């Protein structure tokens, strides 16, 4: 195995770990978000929002940005290219959008977590959850995973 | 975007992409884009119907928690 192929394999390994880890973390976030939106126990709601904030900033955002960065690198270093094939191009767009929206959404989560820390019990139970973002995000991530596994045919006009 | 798990040795990072195909946009891409467009339109319509309050920082204007509940409800209308 030459060094170039070895580096690509290493990058691919990191990319797979980041991408699958992102899906797992999003599932955990979804479970917390459902709890925050449906629990009748103020303590559980408060804990769920704190855990969502921590999971988002410490796990989901790094994994999302890592997945995007390693995906770019792997694509550019492989014969598939970044823009040559529709499945790679669509995966790139969906990954970039998902990573951007996830990162931009996190300040809102922090704000809600801060409200949850200071709200009284009645306010906490009216705070609601945040299940839609991770639910739709998971659908998008699964679509990306399917595209990456099946690699449907189709070349674009780009050569890069 | 990455290579994922391939269909065989030829599909790994050092593999060779398939041979050139017929010109034009494949049917699966057209279907994919049509479905994505419909989903995007539905999400935009829902956002507009909810008052168009979705966007970064919408929770940072200092409203009380009851308003925050409404805002988070609107926030879920555009995703992921």
Distance from CA of A137 to the nearest CA of B (A): 4
Nearest C-alpha neighbor of B6 from the set A149, A87, A77, A74: A149
pLDDT digits (tens, 9 = 90+) for B1-51: 554 444 443 445 545 666 666 678 999 999 999 999 999 899 888 878 876
CB contact under 8 A, A101 and B80: yes
> Closest residue of B to A127, CA-based?
B69
CB contact under 8 A, A86 and B17: no
pLDDT digits (tens, 9 = 90+) for A95-140: 999 999 999 999 999 999 999 999 998 888 888 889 989 999 999 9
Is B38 in the A-facing interface, judged by CB distances under 8 Å? no
Tell me which residue in A9, A90, A133 faces B13 most closely, judged by beta carbons: A9
Tokens matching residue A30: 């979804």
CA A10-A15-A19 angle, 5° bins = 155
pLDDT digits (tens, 9 = 90+) for A39-49: 999 999 999 99
For residue B17, list chain A residues with Cβ-Cβ distance below 8 A: 79-80, 84-85
Instruction: Look up tokens 């041979």; give the residue.
Output: B19
For residue B8, list chain A residues with Cβ-Cβ distance below 8 A: none
Query: Quick check: A126 and B69 in contact, CB under 8 A?
Result: yes
Tokens matching residue B4: 């994922």
**Whole-model pTM?**
0.79
Q: How many CA atoms lie within 13 A of B75 on its CB side?
A: 29
CA dihedral A80, B38, B75, A103 (to 10 degrees): 10
Tokens matching residue A36: 């925050």
The ipTM estimated for the assembled molecules is 0.78
Burial class (CB in 10 A: 0-12, 13-18, 19+), B38: exposed
For residue A121, list chain B residues with Cβ-Cβ distance below 8 A: none
């Amino acid at each position: 195995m030459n060094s170039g192929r070895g580096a690509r394999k290493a990058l691919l390994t990191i990319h797979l770990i980041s991408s699958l880890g992102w899906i797992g973390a999003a599932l955990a976030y979804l479970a917390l978000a459902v709890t925050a939106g449906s629990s009748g126990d103020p303590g559980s709601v408060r804990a769920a929002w704190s855990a969502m904030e921590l999971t988002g900033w410490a796990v989901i955002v790094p994994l999302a940005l890592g997945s995007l960065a390693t995906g770019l690198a792997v694509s550019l270093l492989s014969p598939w290219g970044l823009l040559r094939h529709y499945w790679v191009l669509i995966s790139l767009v969906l990954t970039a959008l998902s990573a951007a929206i996830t990162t931009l959404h996190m300040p809102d989560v922090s704000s809600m977590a801060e409200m949850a820390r200071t709200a009284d019990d009645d306010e906490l139970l009216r705070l609601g959850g945040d299940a839609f973002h991770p639910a739709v995000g998971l659908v998008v991530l699964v679509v990306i995973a399917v595209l990456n596994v099946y690699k449907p045919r189709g070349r674009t006009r780009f050569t890069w | 975007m990455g290579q994922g798990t391939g269909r065989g040795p030829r599909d790994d990072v050092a593999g060779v992409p398939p041979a050139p195909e017929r010109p034009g946009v494949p049917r699966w891409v057209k279907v994919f884009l049509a479905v994505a467009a419909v989903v995007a339109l539905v999400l935009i319509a829902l956002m507009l119907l909810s008052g168009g309050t979705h966007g970064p920082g919408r929770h940072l204007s200092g409203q009380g928690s009851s308003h925050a509940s409404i805002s988070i409800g609107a926030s879920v209308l555009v995703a992921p």
